[in-house]
Amino acid sequence: MSSLNGDAITNTPVMVPAAGLNFYALQRGETPRTLFIHGFGGDLHTWDRVFSYLDPDLAALRYDLRGFGRTPCPDSIPFRHSDDLLALLDSLAILQCDLVGVSMGGSVALNFALNHPQRVRSLVLISPGLMGWEWSEVWQRQWAKIVATARAGKMDRARQLFYSHPLFFSTRASDAADDLYDSIMRYSGQEWLQNFEQPSLPDVDRLLELKRPTLLLSGGCDLSDFQVIADLLSACVENIQRIDFPELGHLIHLEDPQACAQSVQTFLHQQQTVHQH
């Protein structure tokens, strides 16, 4: 990993060698222990709005998942995002971290915390999915249409369909619409063509095992699949705080980045205070 000196500037680009790849990341601070994980079709820049409101002293790292942004996804090599995260932490010599994940990134963070609880201090889950989740028939039909369009050689049309997905209806009506559109237009669509991610057993069956302090941010206008997941987490996770945003949808971190950043910052400060005592 590129080394940083005491004069390191905010958002320093770094390449982190891990799991046989170079993961593209932006680092803030010399010894980051808070990692931000983006959602499907996004990249690390979807956190730009949140980072503009976070305390500059928060040492953090956000990275492009395998196959997204500037991180490649070699053909025919099976992988799991949570395994990549473990390799990333080992490469960075981070023994224990705070994880902040949105949507698919939330499912990665949660899966990692269940698999490697000793490596996680706390979790922030923003409109999270769940590994191995049985999606509703409506969701599956909408997703199948996008995939079929991409595999028919109409990738630009597939991206447009994804942007038009009901998942993003409230974001499209917000001042973050252009940011969302640009993010989706940057997405290669590789996972629609051929997905080498290995399937996982349903994490819903393991939620009672999650003991790490968890903050759940949920939008009142989110789709029913994610509302159900949020309710399951609230019911099953022992040490969880939940904040609902009734007027927001799935992408809370884009629609109200200031409120999102404040919620994350307050929670992380609480955990730091607890550990100091």
**From the centroid of its chain, how far is CA 38?**
3
* pTM of the entire predicted model: 0.95
Residue 5 has pLDDT above 90, yes or no: no
The whole-chain average pLDDT of the chain stands at 94
Q: Are 24 and 234 in contact (CB under 8 A)?
A: no
pLDDT of 275 reads 66
Helices (DSSP H) in 79-127: which residue ranges?
A: 81-92, 104-115
Please indicate whether residue 77 or residue 258 has the higher confidence score (pLDDT): 258
- Select from 215, 244, 218 the least CA-distant residue to 229: 218
Mean pLDDT of 125-136: 97
> Is the pLDDT score of 91 beyond 80?
yes
* Average pLDDT of the residues in 8-17: 80
The answer on pLDDT for 277 being more than 70 is no
| pLDDT at residue 7 is higher than 90 | no
Q: Would you give the DSSP letter of residue 79? A: B
What is the pLDDT at residue 105? 98
**Integer angstrom CA distances of residue 89 from 44, 131, 143, 190, 258:** 17, 20, 32, 25, 28
**What is the rounded average pLDDT of the residues 46-56?**
95
| Predicted local confidence at residue 273, as pLDDT | 76
What is the 8-class DSSP label of residue 36? E
Query: In this predicted model, what pLDDT tens digit does every residue of 196-223 receive, in sequence order?
Result: 999 999 999 999 999 999 999 999 999 9
Give the pLDDT confidence score for residue 276 in this predicted structure: 63
pLDDT at 75: 84
**Per-residue pLDDT for 47 more than 90?**
yes
Residue 35 is predicted with a pLDDT of 98
The proportion of the chain whose per-residue pLDDT surpasses 70, expressed as a percent, equals 95
Measured over the CA atoms of residue 261, residue 263, residue 265 and residue 268, the dihedral's sign is: negative
Q: In the beta sheet, which residues pair with residue 14? A: 25
- Distance (Å, whole) CA 2 – CA 16: 8
Query: How, if at all, do strands 120-126 and 97-102 pair?
Result: parallel
- Ordered DSSP codes for 140-209: HHHHHHHHHHHHTT-HHHHHHHHHTSGGGHHHHTSTTHHHHHHHHHH---HHHH---BPP---GGGGGGG
235: confidence class by pLDDT, cuts 50, 70, 90 = very high
State residue 1's pLDDT score: 35
Q: Class of 12-135+201-276 per CATH?
A: alpha beta
pLDDT band with cut points at 50, 70 and 90 for residue 10? low
* Greatest pairwise CA separation for the chain in angstroms: 58
Q: Using an 8 Å Cβ cutoff, are 24 and 65 in contact?
A: no
Give the burial class of 252: count Cβ atoms within 10 A of its Cβ; 0-12 exposed, 13-18 middle, 19 or more buried. buried
Interatomic CA distance for residues 47 and 9, integer angstroms: 17
Question: Is the pLDDT score of 72 beyond 50?
Answer: yes
Q: Taking 70 as the threshold, does the pLDDT of residue 123 lie above it? A: yes
- The answer to whether 117 and 86 are in contact (CB under 8 A) is no
Q: What's the mean pLDDT in 255-273?
A: 95
* Order of strands, sheet of 214-219, starting from the edge strand that comes earlier in the sequence: 12-18, 21-28, 60-63, 34-37, 97-102, 120-126, 214-219, 240-245
Q: Are 221 and 244 in contact (CB under 8 A)?
A: no
SS3 40: coil
Q: What is the pLDDT of residues 150-192, one digit of tens each?
A: 999 999 999 999 999 999 999 999 999 999 999 999 999 999 9
